[in-house]
Structure 1
Amino acid sequence: MRLAVTGAGGFLGWHVRVLARALGWPEPVAVPRAELADPAAVAARVDGTDRLLHLAGVNRSGDGRITHDNVALARAVARGLRRCAAPPKTVVYANSVHAGNGTPYGDAKAAAAEVLAEACADAELVDVRLPNLYGEHGRPFYNSVVATFCYQLASDARPRVEQDRELDLVHVGDAAALLVDAPPGGAWDARLPALRIGVAALADKLAAMAATYGTGEIPPLHDRHDVRLFNTYRSHCFPGRYPLPLVRHTDARGELVELVRARGGAGQAFCSTSRPGVTRGDHFHLAKVERFAVLRGTAEIALRRVGGTGVVRFAVSGERPVVVDMPTMWAHRITNTGRAELLTAFWANEVYDPEQPDTYPEPVGA
């Protein structure tokens, strides 16, 4: 599937690109906002692709700017489509459930959909009305109240509830699956299963997760939204709060180290040995919570956010046991940097399923 994406650098756009990577599709063609004013440049990028996703938009600004900018972006895409020799078969618009609700934002989203519909004479327009999205690496005070609360908790601040109301929350990875028409059977669910929760209850839920995780324990993860909310919180903790120290108990018999205390679920634990210079990993997960702990030897744990370039490195040793929890959608690996055999313990919140392993090859790089 050859995708072209406006807003590829945004919250939803990044998750679309990660999902495409997980599916083994070509890297989506990004249509930069700086080029949208040039119809020929837009056409050059979009021409011959299978699916154009129009994700670029403005969520928060002055009322006039919200209306003007969202409609202007749609018009720019429309002009580019009209210049295409081989326009995409499908144009997908990331609309909102608030479209046409009488607010500046809702009316702007509805007007933008009409502009795109007029330009899609030779293509199918899929108008997807998305609810409130949350997920890893959302911008606090912009993308989602979940991002705001997670950012505040990761900064040791208490979430502040300005107005309590009911929300329908959908994980952004599920929305990405719907937009790209992903096949079923992965960590995503294009049916958009929603979590219905009040803002105050959400703040309490995330605060409880943060408090438990602050002790080094894994909070209860009863369902897929619990897992994804926890992963969202962890994305705001990484890398500053890692590695996490482990308590070492010693007596005449030897040593005991508690690797993981998981409330509400056991998951799966395993150990591996690695010879000097050997690397394990070079993959990423979309939803799985995974913990690494070196028990003997020395190693480097390296991670890179999918689509990014910077590599985060942790030097770890069995002499001072710590754990590093792998953030979702970060490629990661562990390399034996010592002269002796490396013994590493691993834990995941779910039992490995070879039919749905939630593990996607991705080199961390240099």
Structure 2
Amino acid sequence: MTAARRIAITGGYGFLGWHTACRLRALHQVEPVRLGRDDFADPARLVEALRGVDAVIHIAGVNRADSDEAVEQGNVDLATTLAAAMREVGTPFDVVFANSIQAQLDNPYGRGKAEAARIVQEAATELGGHFADLLLPNLFGEHGRPGYNSFVATFAHEVAAGRVPTVTGDREIELLHAQDAAAALIEALGSDVSEVVPAEAIGIGEVLRFFLETHELYATRGEVPDISTPMRRNLFNTYRAAAFPDMWPISPQVHGDNRGDLYETVRAHGGTGMAFMSTTLPGQKRGEHYHLHKVERFIVVKGEAEIELRRLLHDDVVTFRLSGDKPSFVDMPALWVHNIRNVGDTELVTMFWADQLLDMDNPDQFPETIAQEATA
């Protein structure tokens, strides 16, 4: 059982490490030991961090450096340091290695990853543990670093900033969302496998066109694009992370006459969804949870509200003040804890919209408070 395990994640503060830690918390109630550069720079500190750990998800790696040799040797050095620390602790470890499909190729990065797998597998086997070698394709997802993690992150940030990147050498790329990669890594714990994690092929130009379509609909009018497939939803959440919080809140056009006011709150261009209303008494709060994938919008219809959001495993809180006197809405990014509180003297009326019908067996809703002490 994953929930009973003590799991360490190397590269735990990086892109895939953060996604994996978030998924362990959400679905398995596990708070992993997140290991970063400082831990690997101090062998004694790394050994101490691994004491009491029985499983390691090895994500730390080097994919950019001043030279090809530094890329290759950097991955070997990380594996060597980890293997030495495991041997120093001397207890069995089940290890899952977040390898790359490039390990099958004869290039500096591929050779370094292949040798890293061999080094860590040897240590895990020697100590009586299991070793799973998962070869991952190109990853994308929320909070990837532009110009570093993937072209998807670069495109998302450029388009969210109002710029139009150019595509040279358009071709299809195998892409895997970081949450799907994290799911595969967690599932492999305790097994002895070596396999390529399947991905979905999509054209580079198609990704850019989706972001440009999304920007036109979403950033200017708050309209939700067609997110009827997992790939489109995951690309949309990637764009939303790049655009947050600068584009919020949005105030729709209000049409008024002698009967009162009318304005649109949600216009969705595909898929299913649901809308619902709530009333909240002065001083009371709703929310205090986060989602892995769900797209959710809060619209203040009447009263005064404060919306707080905190990125999971981070400390900083983003706050929005909304009023029914000026109808506005804010979307909740995936993997951000959020709440809404009535800060006025009268009843707060809020409309909520989500992109999926509520499934009580799989609600994609995980309780956590904004004020909870973060670990990053």
TM-score (norm 2): 0.92
Q: Which among 113, 118, 121 is matched to residue 117 of structure 2? A: 113
Q: CA deviation at 1:64?
A: 1.8
Is the CA contact (8 Å cut-off) linking 1:48 and 1:87 kept in structure 2? no
Q: Which residue of 2 aligns with 1:30?
A: 34
Q: Which among 65, 77, 82 is matched to residue 72 of structure 1? A: 77
Q: CA deviation at 1:247?
A: 1.3
- After superposition, the C-alpha distances for 1:97-128 in whole angstroms (9 at most, x for unaligned) are 11030111111111111111221212111111
Q: Which residue of 2 aligns with 1:201?
A: 206
Identity %: 45
1:305-316 matched pairs, under 5 angstroms: 305-316=311-322
Q: Which residue of 2 aligns with 1:166?
A: 172
- After superposition, the C-alpha distances for 1:54-95 in whole angstroms (9 at most, x for unaligned) are 11111222312111211110100011011013232x111110
1:178-257 matched pairs, under 5 angstroms: 178-181=184-187, 194-214=199-219, 215-257=221-263
Is the CA contact (8 Å cut-off) linking 1:291 and 1:324 kept in structure 2? yes
CA distance in 2, matches of 1:152, 1:259: 27
Q: CA deviation at 1:250?
A: 0.5
Ranges in structure 1 where 5+ consecutive residues have no aligned partner = 184-189
Ranges in structure 2 where 5+ consecutive residues have no aligned partner = 190-194
1:97-136 matched pairs, under 5 angstroms: 97-120=101-124, 121-122=126-127, 123-136=129-142
Q: CA deviation at 1:278?
A: 0.6
Is the CA contact (8 Å cut-off) linking 1:22 and 1:360 kept in structure 2? yes
CA distance in 2, matches of 1:278, 1:25: 27
CA distance in 2, matches of 1:311, 1:42: 31
CA distance in 1, matches of 2:154, 2:312: 22
Is the CA contact (8 Å cut-off) linking 2:134 and 2:196 kept in structure 1? no
Amino acid at match of 1:176: A
Q: Does residue 158 of structure 2 align to residue 141 of structure 1?
A: no
Q: Which among 352, 355, 364 is matched to residue 358 of structure 1? A: 364
Q: CA deviation at 1:191?
A: 10
CA distance in 2, matches of 1:182, 1:354: 27
- For this pair of structures, how many residues does the alignment match? 359
Runs of 4+ in 1 over 3 A off after TM superposition: 37-40, 190-193
Deviates more, 1:162-171 or 1:306-315: 162-171
CA distance in 1, matches of 2:336, 2:198: 24
TM-score (norm 1): 0.94
Q: Does residue 155 of structure 2 align to residue 152 of structure 1?
A: no
Is the CA contact (8 Å cut-off) linking 1:168 and 1:195 kept in structure 2? yes
Amino acid at match of 1:365: A
Distance 1:275 1:193, change over 3 A: farther
Q: Which among 80, 87, 105 is matched to residue 82 of structure 1? A: 87
Give the root-mean-square deviation of aligned CA atoms: 1.7
Q: Which residue of 2 aligns with 1:51?
A: 55
